[in-house]
Amino acid sequence: MSYLHFTPAARLIASIGALLAMAVACWRLTPYLMSVAPAGDSRRGAVAVRLGLLPCILAIPLIVAFRVPNSPIEVLLPP
């Protein structure tokens, strides 16, 4: 986050805010995804998995595009 020129306190606040945002998103989305697939219905379970994985898969190109330019192996592999 050095390219944003945040102070150490601002970095801490941004990190805590991101952590809270992820927790709230999981808290709000989990009941919806669990309600899509009732127990024992594997077909609707597959729909729930697709609904949960689709945003993750679609985010990969955005994550790669906005990583700080470096060698390709450092951009494409997890940190």
What average pLDDT score do residues 47-66 get? 79
The pLDDT, as a whole number, for residue 21 is: 94
Q: Which two tokens stand for residue 30?
A: 């989990």
Do the Cβ atoms of 64 and 52 come closer than 8 Å?
A: no
pLDDT tens-digit readout, 22-51: 999 888 887 777 776 666 666 666 777 777
Tell me how far CA of residue 73 lies from CA of 62, 70, 76, 77, 79, in angstroms.
Answer: 16, 8, 5, 6, 10
pTM to 2 decimals?
0.51
What average pLDDT score do residues 64-74 get? 71
User: Looking at the predicted structure, is the pLDDT value of residue 68 above 80?
Assistant: no
